[in-house]
Structure 1
């Protein structure tokens, strides 16, 4: 569509409308300047003024952004980027992905790699699988729109990452093949007998990949034999190695930990008579936080409560610039897998000296907080103490006692310790309700393993008030730490969480519109805006999916020495203080408190201010690395668990829609799989970006984000943690997309293009 400009203009020039301009910018990444748009739509005369005004309007609304003279949609690929070549199809075309990609924006985009003069792989730079290239975004050749998000033309080959390929050996006559563990690498590698380097069948290995030709499987050499995949912990080891997570402590670190002596009373207050208790998961091996609550006896604070949180004093054992400290910073945090934990600190520290064991003297840093009856914190103070845990309890054990089912251990603790804790939580909950943090309802699935390391079952643990109590006590302790250090003008690392970007809010609004829902956008953006939406949809059939999409629309929390507040918790200042055993950020906060409050000589070292930016960036990256490794391990475990159920049918929900097909999340297990578009329906399907749907070009049959579908498991790749489904359910009735939208580039491939991608449904 376009608007006529100037009735007296003999040439009747038109300015394109908003949708047309946005579509052109999306579909023409290499030629999307104002001049390009004017030329494409023959905009002249007064229409140029109207076009300029429209572009400024779109830029002001955050719908497009300007990079030099080039216009692009927010989040679009940069003009030049580093890519990794990851796959090649049966026709010899190769595909790449960006070398770095924010997983919050969805899976990495698939990029078609072009050769010179627009011909694929002819002359110039001819990269192979495993190569890294510097490439320029180019226009997509006709017929490839459904196969890749964009096209790139190589500028030059870059040095290949030394650890770019890892896989499992499968011996054959005269050599072997290696199945890669990465979802990005879709083809096996051939290895001659002379290049196996001692690797046996079933071994996990790293490879040096030879430059591959256009056809045939690439060849490789075994660089290192990592270990046997027959080990019960092999699945998590894949993620550990693939994500470069340090898992072996150097000898100097172990020696330093073993030489550590228990802390003494020097410089500490004696709180061993205070009935602090630990409440943790039943299988916890370390206990780094303890809690206590009692009514405030002050007549000026009627109905108030005193809440105490004590945290293991890790700073007493891990001194700045020591071997332990350097290794902890390198690791950034502990990493938790279903079958093992990769700790930030050696067990001598984490499971012994800094574990608040029942009946054992342990050093701690404690915060004493006084709340009014309405949940408002009146004041707080920090203390370096010696404590003695009165009891070690599990969440379920403490909750059962409160619910009227005490056991031999919790019975005597019920009135003097547990009921005051729950009374204190009731008061703090009032303050939380008034604060209105983001309240997402996302059940956390837990994988239970058999002794051999394979999956026994997947369950959703019950969310107890005991969990919420500990969570709220820890949040308040974290807030108190940030407030104290800010008041003392001390350097520290904040835990920050920015509000959602305009682009993500627009995407959320479009998704909600596809479900006939709206989110109000008036006034300041606060978590309560999302909470009202989530309350409205509690009984909606897609309530869980809506919660997940709202979570996806949020920014990622990170660490920073600069404070912007925590949007999700709706807090102006927040820092991590409560788990220095497993997070380096908390150790920094402990040291900052020690220095700022004069609690010892083992606080933050001088000059740390100049390094906090880099430290915050490093530990934020380590956190993302750990989350990626944990997610990959769960994917592989579930894929292996379901590998003997090929042909079985499952109930799922469409959790993602692309031109290439549907991402489906199984209801029972939360497992993710892909439905290729070539197996969907008996029509040719167009991708409706606004509605997040695939729509039949002839029938209008629609598969939309959030729809419940029945799928059949047709293929599993356990090493990659990938599954392929075939959808068995009919789509909902709908209308075919308008021709103008098909012409705008949303149409899937037609039969006469390079290959038939969308065919009749199978298995009906």
Structure 2
């Protein structure tokens, strides 16, 4: 390197990324021999690299490759290699987005002080806090500081009895992160039959792959077992404690008391055809004092009346955090005595609610609001399809009398709210939702796309407005609020999105900060092009994850300064906390937020965000396995599909008709060596120049459908259509690329498209 000269952007980036340890500004200046004003130039250059996401900075003001692991991190021991070395991966490593994990080798003899000492040896499945020392590119040695969780006392897997093993069984984990299978002696199979999903208890430490069957979950041939795998694997609580059930059974009708009497107001519920509980009702009418304005009512079941703080029912619901939905069942947050009865706004029966009364002007701005504890009597239980047909001029006998006073005013208010949404620039991703239909035998009979109607959007806009009003109300009354926050996208992800869009000839404004409206302009630009779905999915992956927090960061996706979840306390505990806070803030009687809970909102946010992630993982895992079961009958058949993700170890693709997605391993692409062009999201053959990239349409052959893990494997039969790409934008991180051999792996994770909950 040239001494006494300020490095170029590429020289500085290479120096930081090649350093075995994070380096500070002083070390960089010394290495390049910089003095005086040159240090000011260096500071500016470092700031630009950090803002673009090319480097990461820590509290010690040192810089490193953002993909480099921190010195102290949480690891999960996943397997033993052929030489007997324990290998680990970062606890939160996303293989699809970040590529193959680094090689982290644990030497049980090299433990930091305060570690295990003479305790049991570390084993596959252990979670450990470890210090890392970089040994080479993407290679580390780990020193265990302490164990955070023991090796799995139980592992969920598929039991089989391969021929030629003298009755010895084998259990293959349903979790693809656990690479090792377990041997089961005949004496330890505990009645398990081939094809059963079982819990096993590993024995003998890391090197021994023996286990005993402790519990049989169900036969893999039974479609009901599919959901049970996800429930068990994600530790979803299923059984309510007896005390919680007794408390729910003792519930009775709430008295009118001081509640606002809204029983003569024709509020209606609008839900899906298969909904079993109805926790929100809506009403709208023109505001006579403000031409073009509207008065809206959103009435939500008063769960706080029945679920009191620190009672058995409250503790059980908090542990669950949310209801979990599977194709064949629901694991509810509350017992059915409440969720399907007293907290369900069934038509023509008195039900207690917490009601948001809101006024909007002709521009859709929320002008004022009030919250009431009220009593309603729902005028009708309507469905999205019926309401939309009525608005389109085909009302049925029940809806026809409601058209003038209920349906048309609802759509009138919705039109104003929709215009306001479009004006403020809320992110408008178009991502079709997969819908499965089960047959009488419990198996998938059909996979399609859920129809998106204006009636769906109507209810969504009413709920968004009520959620905003709840957050505003708590702020105005200086009461703690559990916000639903969606932070701005990470600068590095936005830069990656910008470079990818550039390869499609689509521009995105420069800079690390971006607005939802900027993204919407891109979506509108590609709306009628073949790459539209590709751009929508890639943009979704660039977004931050929405979480619960007492610290308000706003909601990027909705383009809102403040937002809370208020509208579904039957199935989300955060909404119940917001209800309790509103009851306390407005002095609305019993069941409000206890004083002791006001200091626990950070704890609430962390726990309930975890519960939501757990539920999403369980729902996605069950859906993957249902789809794999559906596709198993079609192994060997060919289907048109589209590449949805490109990695160093292969391609992920989704089939056009069903949306079923799986891996195309790089080993199946032939003898050619392919390099991964991250900037253009492509695999490029070094010899032939053949390319496979994001959005390419392919004809695919299904070669494997693993029901236990939910994994699908494809092979490419033919290329139907390739997406036209340009070179990466000049000066981008991927303007110059070095060919490298990809890591060929057997199998790999499926594409986990993250549909973030609002």
TM-score calculated relative to the size of structure 1: 0.87
* Corresponding position of 2:236: 245
Q: 1:580 aligns with which of 569, 587, 607?
A: 569
Question: Do structure 1's residue 77 and structure 2's residue 72 form an aligned pair?
Answer: no
Q: 1:170 aligns with which of 160, 163, 170?
A: 160
SS at match of 2:157: strand
* Corresponding position of 1:261: 252
Q: What displacement does 1:76 show?
A: 3.5
Superposed CA deviations along residues 613-671 of structure 1, whole A, max 9, x for unmatched, are 10111111111111111111111111121122222222222222222222222222222
* Corresponding position of 1:490: 479
Superposed CA deviations along residues 51-105 of structure 1, whole A, max 9, x for unmatched, are 77754552354421234475323354223333223346778776532223479x8
Question: Do structure 1's residue 447 and structure 2's residue 436 form an aligned pair?
Answer: yes
Describe how 1:150-549 pairs up with structure 2 within 5 A. Answer: 150-153=139-142, 155=144, 158=147, 160-163=150-153, 165-171=155-161, 173-211=166-204, 218-298=209-289, 301-521=290-510, 525-549=514-538
* Corresponding position of 1:11: none
Tell me, yes or no, if the aligned pair for 2:295 and 2:359 is still in contact at 8 Å: yes
Q: 1:602 aligns with which of 550, 575, 591?
A: 591
* Corresponding position of 1:130: 125
| Matches of 2:271 and 2:423, distance apart in 1 | 27
* Corresponding position of 1:10: none
Q: What displacement does 1:32 show?
A: 6.3
1:736 to 1:403, Cα distance in 2 relative to 1, 3 A: closer
Tell me, yes or no, if the aligned pair for 1:703 and 1:732 is still in contact at 8 Å: no
Q: 1:612 aligns with which of 589, 601, 605?
A: 601
SS at match of 1:413: helix
Tell me, yes or no, if the aligned pair for 1:700 and 1:736 is still in contact at 8 Å: no
* Corresponding position of 1:675: 664
Tell me, yes or no, if the aligned pair for 1:128 and 1:211 is still in contact at 8 Å: no
Describe how 1:51-66 pairs up with structure 2 within 5 A. Answer: 54-55=45-46, 57-59=48-50, 61-66=52-57
Q: What displacement does 1:606 show?
A: 1.4
| Matches of 1:710 and 1:756, distance apart in 2 | 22
Tell me, yes or no, if the aligned pair for 1:698 and 1:736 is still in contact at 8 Å: no
SS at match of 2:595: coil
Tell me, yes or no, if the aligned pair for 1:183 and 1:722 is still in contact at 8 Å: no
| Matches of 2:573 and 2:519, distance apart in 1 | 31
| Matches of 1:594 and 1:696, distance apart in 2 | 64
1:541 to 1:307, Cα distance in 2 relative to 1, 3 A: same
* Corresponding position of 1:120: none
Q: Which moved more, 1:511-520 or 1:439-448?
A: 511-520
Question: Do structure 1's residue 726 and structure 2's residue 718 form an aligned pair?
Answer: no
1:87 to 1:666, Cα distance in 2 relative to 1, 3 A: farther
* Corresponding position of 2:637: 648
* Corresponding position of 2:702: 713
| Matches of 1:642 and 1:71, distance apart in 2 | 47
| Matches of 1:112 and 1:30, distance apart in 2 | 17
Q: Which moved more, 1:544-553 or 1:152-161?
A: 152-161
Q: What displacement does 1:114 show?
A: 3.5
Superposed CA deviations along residues 423-473 of structure 1, whole A, max 9, x for unmatched, are 221122222222221111111111111222211111112111100111101
Q: What displacement does 1:222 show?
A: 2.3
Tell me, yes or no, if the aligned pair for 1:30 and 1:137 is still in contact at 8 Å: no
1:22 to 1:659, Cα distance in 2 relative to 1, 3 A: farther
Question: Do structure 1's residue 19 and structure 2's residue 13 form an aligned pair?
Answer: no
Tell me, yes or no, if the aligned pair for 1:566 and 1:573 is still in contact at 8 Å: yes
Question: Do structure 1's residue 99 and structure 2's residue 91 form an aligned pair?
Answer: yes
1:471 to 1:222, Cα distance in 2 relative to 1, 3 A: same
Name stretches of at least 5 consecutive residues in structure 1 with no aligned partner: 7-13, 118-123, 758-764
1:675 to 1:287, Cα distance in 2 relative to 1, 3 A: same
Q: What displacement does 1:519 show?
A: 0.5
Tell me, yes or no, if the aligned pair for 1:95 and 1:110 is still in contact at 8 Å: no
| Matches of 1:513 and 1:649, distance apart in 2 | 32
1:404 to 1:635, Cα distance in 2 relative to 1, 3 A: same
Tell me, yes or no, if the aligned pair for 2:677 and 2:737 is still in contact at 8 Å: no
Tell me, yes or no, if the aligned pair for 1:5 and 1:46 is still in contact at 8 Å: no
Q: What displacement does 1:261 show?
A: 1.2
1:510 to 1:675, Cα distance in 2 relative to 1, 3 A: same
| Matches of 1:443 and 1:296, distance apart in 2 | 36
Tell me, yes or no, if the aligned pair for 2:491 and 2:512 is still in contact at 8 Å: no
Name stretches of at least 5 consecutive residues in structure 2 with no aligned partner: 109-117, 747-758
SS at match of 1:607: helix
| Matches of 1:735 and 1:433, distance apart in 2 | 31
Tell me, yes or no, if the aligned pair for 2:88 and 2:105 is still in contact at 8 Å: no
SS at match of 2:633: helix
Tell me, yes or no, if the aligned pair for 2:322 and 2:573 is still in contact at 8 Å: yes
| Matches of 2:422 and 2:674, distance apart in 1 | 46
1:350 to 1:572, Cα distance in 2 relative to 1, 3 A: same
Question: Do structure 1's residue 86 and structure 2's residue 75 form an aligned pair?
Answer: no
Q: What displacement does 1:334 show?
A: 0.7
* Corresponding position of 1:762: none
Tell me, yes or no, if the aligned pair for 2:700 and 2:715 is still in contact at 8 Å: yes
1:200 to 1:108, Cα distance in 2 relative to 1, 3 A: farther
| Matches of 2:45 and 2:372, distance apart in 1 | 60
1:29 to 1:681, Cα distance in 2 relative to 1, 3 A: farther
Tell me, yes or no, if the aligned pair for 1:338 and 1:447 is still in contact at 8 Å: yes
1:742 to 1:129, Cα distance in 2 relative to 1, 3 A: farther
1:201 to 1:432, Cα distance in 2 relative to 1, 3 A: same
Q: What displacement does 1:741 show?
A: 9.3
Backbone CA RMSD of aligned residues: 3.5
Q: Which moved more, 1:646-655 or 1:61-70?
A: 61-70
Superposed CA deviations along residues 491-520 of structure 1, whole A, max 9, x for unmatched, are 221111111121111121122122222211
